[in-house]
Amino acid sequence: MAAAELKEKSEKMSLDIEAVEASNQQLADAREEANKLYELQVEERGLNLDLHLHLHSVRLIFLALLGECVTYGRELKLVSALTSVRERGDKLRQQRKSEEARRKQQMQELRAAVSEYEKKIQEIETAKMEETRRSLQGEYEERQREVKDSVMKKEARLADRLRAAASDDQLDEIRRQE
């Protein structure tokens, strides 16, 4: 009789184990389908991360309730899965924040570089203008010297002519007196 009861309990346990395994498989399939559905919804609707986590948590709880034999071990797995989802969400939030901070830093660096280039361009333009001014000033001074030299030469020739004319007049005067 003990053997029959043992055999009966053994068969009942094997049926229970098969039922649990079948339930586990159904739960895994449902979880996989829920994850696929979740990923599609995230892509299509562009929900924010907190809402994604909430929906995912609700789906996991719903799937756990659908499975008929949620044992303490499965509850621990569920809690672990929820914790994993939250950690992944925290990690994604942190990555998004660090990415935003990195973009802001890059924008500041770009603005600083643009400002620096604008200053350099202004300095180059100022230097070119100064060089052009010096060049024009040098040309002006050179032209002024040329004009001054030309005027001095003309004055010297005129003075020579006046002297020559004066000496011709003096010669004429001396000849007259003689």
pLDDT score at 108? 92
Instruction: Please name the residues in contact with 49: beta carbons below 8 A apart, sequence gap of 6 or more.
Output: 89, 92, 93, 96
pLDDT at residue 162, as a whole number: 74
Q: What is the pLDDT of residues 145-175, one digit of tens each?
A: 999 999 999 888 877 877 777 666 666 676 6
Question: Which residue has better confidence, 16 or 46?
Answer: 16
> Alpha-carbon distance 30 to 82, whole Å?
16
75-104 mean pLDDT: 81
Provide the pLDDT for residue 101: 92
14/134: higher pLDDT: 134
Q: What is the pLDDT of residues 26-55, one digit of tens each?
A: 878 878 887 887 777 666 665 555 666 666
Confidence check: pLDDT of 140 > 80: yes
Single pTM value for the model: 0.35
* Selected residue with higher pLDDT from 24 and 132: 132
**C-alpha dist (Å) from residue 42 to 34, 51, 88:** 12, 10, 15
